[in-house]
Amino acid sequence: MSTLALAFDLGGTELRGALVERGGDVIARVSEPTLAGAGSEAVIGQIIGLAGKLLNEHPQARVIGIGACAPGPLDPKAGIVIGPPTLAGWHNVPMIDILSRQFGLPVRLENDANAAALGEWRFGAGRGTESMVFVTVSTGIGGGVIGDGHIYHGRRGLAAEIGHMTITGEGDRCFCGNVGCFEAVASGTALGRRATRLTSARDGSLMRQLAGDGEVSARHVVEAARMGDATARELVEAEAKWLGIGFTNLLHLYSPEVIVMGGGLANGFDLLAPGIRATIDGRAMAAYRDVPVVPAELGDRAGLVGAASLILWEGEPGTALAMVQNDTTKAGGQTGSNQTKRA
Amino acid sequence: MSTLALAFDLGGTELRGALVERGGDVIARVSEPTLAGAGSEAVIGQIIGLAGKLLNEHPQARVIGIGACAPGPLDPKAGIVIGPPTLAGWHNVPMIDILSRQFGLPVRLENDANAAALGEWRFGAGRGTESMVFVTVSTGIGGGVIGDGHIYHGRRGLAAEIGHMTITGEGDRCFCGNVGCFEAVASGTALGRRATRLTSARDGSLMRQLAGDGEVSARHVVEAARMGDATARELVEAEAKWLGIGFTNLLHLYSPEVIVMGGGLANGFDLLAPGIRATIDGRAMAAYRDVPVVPAELGDRAGLVGAASLILWEGEPGTALAMVQNDTTKAGGQTGSNQTKRA
């Protein structure tokens, strides 16, 4: 069996584990509901349990390290999960220290959006590019940016907080407190909310029927639009326009070779694409208009294979492990811990 | 005399040349009005003329290369000035080829905003940081981004088109055709236009008096605000709010350690700073709020010393010349020309 990484994708709802090969293939996968309210020790116990399960079932596996991703804010260089809103009782948890002590293996950590961006960049829709923006559109909007052949971290790994880019002065207030966040107007949640407002329970509308007369979600809107419902199609068109405005900003700011769209709403990518394209064509400066927007390819394994690639990636000489955690040693004169610098 | 670079800052109005030392000190400077309407050959003739002047006056100078900056769009890796709106008759001019043939020296090229960002990062207000956003606010809004110890280029060197980030749905239409560009609501031009609309010739207002009863410019607004004029102060406050909204986006998107503000409006930085800070405190997510916003330090020599640093910089081992033009060889497997790859 070839060299493998243990990969973990820690979400607020589900904890996923996998054994991943160098080429990005997932050879075994496990998951369980995250004990999100039980604090960090309980969840780390779950990670250890899933690792044991994977290793027991594949005793011949040559595991050379652990790549993990978790919700931000998270400091990838220091290896610390700072305090994700979806995980109770997590405050500055030194994930790399804990897991490397537990397993005696090198451990790398990345926030979930960046890990998914790495996955799509190295093994999915962004393969072969040097600069890519990954945008995940579902409950919220998140993202990860590859710039000039590197994942773009910025201070404390906090770059690419795409969902909280202000793009308008209108719309509902975002949970962050502002009006006009990209997420507040263009997320799946925003789309569902608009559909819910436009309809009412038992009004006979297709969207409400699909929703069992409950609140309409983005999925119902896409489904109804696919069935030809006129209101749903208008909602999809408006949604595509907001996405196009945000994507145009991302083109101007990051100048990627491609924008990769993932997340739940990517299920409606074919319906959204013409409106996104028309908005970009109408708003982007000429030099950016030919940049493609494409759907993600890896679905819910993007984070897992991206996390695994923190350990396994050798696609670019000299950038394997060094690339993600070693930027400080190259450029800043800061010293990281030995833990995080080891290749 | 220590090792020097010849530096040129080609603007739509003025062409500047200098001899710059390794530490960023300008030891000689020349300039003349750019023959902006006369086409690229005439302007390159000016560059050659200014170079001759500098070298004749400093015959002992050990010049090891030429660093130049010009308005975008511009491809720094290919060394091509694509077609700046302020220079007539420039279409895909291979500046690096032309100048290196002429002088027999290595030549590096960067767009003007990136060169100014490099100058401020290496020798000015961004010294010692690993991630920095430079924003120049004057007639328009431009910028350059240092991310994780590198200037951020993106595809064709077109990243950081900060002025055309949509931040609102209101305000005057931008020259680019959109409504809501950062530049359209927050540039010095936008501020002057608001002041001009709020007043009228011979209305006795301080701003109009300062403007000789002509159109009010941003400079007049700042001057009047400094003298205590209430309307001017309100305009400055509104301006600071727009800048704060844009800067908050830049914090969320690039996560810099510092935002450096240059350009003509930086003359009013002390008046704008409290409003910018209040807006950031009110809008940025908690983890970004402690990032300082500071005025640029190098004034109109930022571009020159930044361009020179493309040749001279040795502040970070291994990143000297390689850093700016060689990204392709590190990460992409693309091959640049020998011209652009040589150290």
Give A276-311 pLDDT, tens digit per residue.
999 999 999 999 999 999 999 999 999 999 999 999
Please determine, for residue A142, whether its predicted confidence score (pLDDT) is greater than 50: yes
Quick one: pLDDT at residue A322?
Answer: 35
A92 in B contact zone (CB under 8 Å): no
Quick one: pLDDT at residue B319?
Answer: 41
Q: Distance between CA atoms of B150 and B327, rounded to whole angstroms?
A: 10
Quick one: pLDDT at residue A2?
Answer: 77
> Residue B44 in contact with residue B116, Cβ under 8 Å?
no
Quick one: pLDDT at residue B338?
Answer: 35
> pLDDT exceeding 90 applies to what percent of chain A?
85
Highest-confidence segment of A82-96, A326-340, B272-286: B272-286
- Single-letter residue type at B303: G
B315 in A contact zone (CB under 8 Å): no
The shortest CB-CB distance from A166 to any of B159, B164, B167 is to B167
State the number of CA atoms in the 13 A half-sphere of B72 facing the CB: 28
Q: Give the pLDDT mean for A73-82.
A: 91
Interchain pair A318, B330: CB under 8 A:
yes
The shortest CB-CB distance from A253 to any of B131, B160, B256 is to B160
B160 in A contact zone (CB under 8 Å): yes
Q: Distance between CA atoms of B276 and B273, rounded to whole angstroms?
A: 5
Residue A336: pLDDT band with limits 50, 70, 90? very low
- For A23-71, the three-class secondary structure string (H helix, E strand, C coil) is CCCEEEEEEEECCCCCCHHHHHHHHHHHHHHHHHHCCCCEEEEEEEEEC
> Residue B14 in contact with residue B33, Cβ under 8 Å?
yes
Please determine, for residue A60, whether its predicted confidence score (pLDDT) is greater than 50: yes
Continuous segment of H or E residues that includes residue B1: none
The shortest CB-CB distance from B165 to any of A253, A256, A319 is to A253
Cis peptide before A292 (omega within 30 of 0): no
Q: Distance between CA atoms of B330 and A148, rounded to whole angstroms?
A: 9
Interchain pair B154, A254: CB under 8 A:
yes
A254 in B contact zone (CB under 8 Å): yes
Please determine, for residue A143, whether its predicted confidence score (pLDDT) is greater than 90: yes
* CATH (residue range A125-296): 3.30.420.40
The shortest CB-CB distance from B165 to any of A176, A249, A331 is to A249
Domain with CATH 3.30.420.40 in chain B: 3-112+314-341, 125-296
Quick one: pLDDT at residue B96?
Answer: 96
Nearest CA in chain A to B325: A148
Give every residue of chain B whose pLDDT is below 50, as ranges.
316-343
Question: What Å distances lie between residue A118 and A18, A113, A249, B284, CA to CA?
Answer: 16, 9, 21, 26
Please determine, for residue A271, whether its predicted confidence score (pLDDT) is greater than 90: yes
Question: What Å distances lie between residue A196 and A109, A168, B174, CA to CA?
Answer: 38, 22, 35
ipTM of the complex, rounded to two decimals: 0.89
The shortest CB-CB distance from B287 to any of A156, A167, A169 is to A156
Q: Give the pLDDT mean for A194-201.
A: 97
* CATH (residue range A3-112+307-341): 3.30.420.40
Quick one: pLDDT at residue A73?
Answer: 84
> Residue A334 in contact with residue A311, Cβ under 8 Å?
no
Q: What are the tokens at B5?
A: 């670079």
Q: Which of residues 110-149 of B touch A (CB under 8 A)?
A: 130-131, 147-149
Q: Which residue has the higher pLDDT, A249 or B73?
A: A249
Please determine, for residue A328, whether its predicted confidence score (pLDDT) is greater than 60: no
Give A105-141 pLDDT, tens digit per residue.
999 999 999 999 999 999 999 999 999 999 999 999 9
Quick one: pLDDT at residue A315?
Answer: 56
Tokens 């200098």 found at:
B18
| Sheet of strand A26-33, all strands in order from the earlier edge strand to the far edge | A26-33, A14-21, A3-10, A62-70, A107-111
Choose among A300, A22, A314, A150: nearest CA to B130: A150
Quick one: pLDDT at residue A314?
Answer: 66
Interchain pair B253, A160: CB under 8 A:
yes
> Residue B303 in contact with residue B112, Cβ under 8 Å?
yes
List chain A residues with CB under 8 Å of B287.
73, 82, 156, 158
Interchain pair B332, A73: CB under 8 A:
no
List chain B residues with CB under 8 Å of A162.
252-253
Smallest CA–CA distance, residue B155 to chain A, in Å, is: 5
Fold of B3-112+314-341: Nucleotidyltransferase; domain 5 (3.30.420)
Tell me whether strands B132-137 and B141-147 are parallel, antiparallel or unpaired: antiparallel
Smallest CA–CA distance, residue B136 to chain A, in Å, is: 15
Average pLDDT over chain A reads 91
Highest-confidence segment of A142-151, A245-254, A332-341, B76-85: A245-254
Quick one: pLDDT at residue A86?
Answer: 86
Please determine, for residue A69, whether its predicted confidence score (pLDDT) is greater than 70: yes
Interchain pair A153, B148: CB under 8 A:
yes
- In this prediction the pTM is 0.89
Tell me chain B's radius of gyration from C-alpha atoms: 20
Cis peptide before A73 (omega within 30 of 0): yes
What DSSP assignment string belongs to B38-99? S-HHHHHHHHHHHHHHHHHH-TT-EEEEEEEEEPSSEETTTTEE---TTSTT-SSB-HHHHH
Tell me whether strands B14-21 and B3-10 are parallel, antiparallel or unpaired: antiparallel
Domain with CATH 3.30.420.40 in chain A: 3-112+307-341, 125-296
